[in-house]
Copies of this chain bind each other. A is one copy, B any other.
Amino acid sequence: MTNAFAPPDNPAPMIQIPGVRDRPVRLGVLISGGGTTLLNFLDQIHSGHLRAEVPLVIASQKSCRGVERARNAGLRCEVLRPRDFSGVEQFSSAVFNLLRESRIDLVTLAGFLSLLTIPDDFSGRVLNIHPSLIPAFCGHGFYGHHVHEAAIARGVKVSGCTVHFADNHYDHGPILLQQCVNVPDGATPDQLAALVFEQEKTAYPEAIRLWCSGRLRIEHGRTVLGELPQDV
């Protein structure tokens, strides 16, 4: 059995995700690049498909296009660069302090390339999207165009995207949702990226809606969509 396909280590006991049902969910969006996923969230919010607000964007690079886009949209965008901290713990601590101060309900990694250590109070409250069907083409080194280049090189006929709970490893936490795309013969990595991004545009908002529903729980490292808990 190859490690690449192993389930999450030491899966925690059952976690019920309380969700946010009575008001717009407060999203923290973490970016490292173009911010296209952030723009998609804003489109979904404006069109009424996603009941959310974005009180805080955090970018891990000063000059990325996403910073400009966030600020143009009137959002608060803070830049926190890992290189300015002495280690992952210190960087993560600063990131989560900002998120706490902004009373963020749910943290969405949106092309965020820096590893984070997730504190206990954010357990079950950080989502990531990965542009492949995990556990294929994921893990260290598989980000952005590297994912699609590897998929094209292997000649897969199906790829897709995965929204998962983030843990403290790359592309490793419980999977919330996956959507497939057919890979056309002769597609380039860029063409595949565009096809997968079309799926991402619906998958990530749908995952956020599921998270908000109060119906999700994590059992043995697996995500289950159940009924509403009885106390609500």
Are A154's CB and B178's CB within 8 A?
no
Q: Which residues of B contact A158 (CB under 8 A)?
A: 133, 160, 178-180
A140 to chain B, nearest CB (A): 8
Copies of this polypeptide in the complex: 2
| Interface size, chain A (Cβ < 8 Å) | 40
Q: Which residues of B contact A5 (CB under 8 A)?
A: 4, 136-137, 142, 150, 154
Instruction: Select which of B4, B160, B176, B221 is within 8 A of A4 by beta carbon.
Output: B4
Are B2's CB and A154's CB within 8 A?
no
A136 to chain B: closest residue by CB:
B136
A13 at the interface (CB under 8 A from B): no
Instruction: Select which of B137, B142, B154, B176 is within 8 A of A175 by beta carbon.
Output: B154
A117 to chain B, nearest CB (A): 22
**With the chains together, A154 CA to B225 CA distance in Å?**
16
Instruction: Select which of B142, B175, B186 is within 8 A of A1 by beta carbon.
Output: B142
Interface flags, A77-105, vs B, CB<8A=1, else 0: 00000000000000000000000000000
29 A-B pairs whose Cβ atoms sit less than 8 Å apart in the complex: A1-B142, A1-B150, A2-B139, A4-B4, A5-B136, A5-B137, A5-B142, A7-B150, A7-B153, A133-B133, A133-B136, A133-B158, A134-B154, A134-B156, A135-B136, A135-B137, A135-B154, A135-B156, A153-B221, A154-B175, A155-B175, A157-B162, A157-B175, A157-B176, A157-B177, A158-B179, A158-B180, A185-B223, A186-B224
A residues engaging B (CB < 8 A)? Answer: 1-2, 4-7, 133-137, 139, 141-142, 146, 150, 152-158, 160, 162, 174-180, 185-186, 221-226
